Amino acid sequence: MERVARLVVLVSGSGTNLQALLDEIAATGTGAYGAEIVAVGADREGIEGLARAERAGVPTFVRKVKDFATREEWDAALAGAVAAYEPDLVVSAGFMKIVGKEFLARFGGRFINTHPALLPSFPGAHGVRDALAYGAKVTGCTVHFVDDGVDTGPIIAQGVVEVRDEDYEDEGAALHERIKEVERRLLVDVVGRLARHGYRIEGRKVVIQ
């Protein structure tokens, strides 16, 4: 029997990407998907992302920045909490905190994030808005490994979304929703393929076996 990869998912809000992973694993089975979610962590309490995990019977933990004297202490505590579940992959599913050196020392090359633009274009917190401001005709989403830069890690996969004229009328809200739909499907596909087939990182290139 093939080994099932262990996932720890980190959330900060509603957890729709987490739900997409939970739904896919429930529908296909951990063996067929190749992974199981062994814990969900957050940087705040009382969020829907944690509630989704609890409804699915997945253990949860919270590490709040304000509970620690320094950002470095928080980062070490988060890394320790994640490491306790011995994950093969860590998935940022809308986790709105930047991790530090200790976390990346433990999970570099195994920490997956999504971004609502086609990197390396439009990194940072306003990828959708910045693409519209630039007049881009297509944008989309990127699934990538996290490194110590801002959205600069090796790209695993990308999905393209067309920019429509009406997207300028609501400051990109409808565009962002279309990107999120593609992002959820892409993340589910990528995590499953990494788990089932394994991968290696060659410089900036991610090769799924």
Q: Is 97 marked within a binding site?
A: yes
Q: Is 99 marked within a binding site?
A: yes
Q: Is 156 marked within a binding site?
A: no
Residue length of the chain:
209
Alpha-carbon distance 204 to 48, whole Å?
Answer: 34
Q: Is 137 marked within a binding site?
A: no
What torsion, rounded to 10 degrees, do the Cα atoms 170, 155, 41, 34 define? 120
Q: Is 98 marked within a binding site?
A: yes
Q: Is 31 marked within a binding site?
A: no
Sequence-distant contacts of 67-72: CB under 8 A, at least 24 apart: 71/100, 72/100, 72/101, 72/102
Q: Is 106 marked within a binding site?
A: no
Residues marked active site are found at 115
What torsion, rounded to 10 degrees, do the Cα atoms 182, 185, 190, 195 define? 160
Binding-site annotation: residue ranges for (6R)-10-formyltetrahydrofolate: 71, 96-99, 113
Q: Binding site: residue ranges? A: 15-17, 71, 96-99, 113
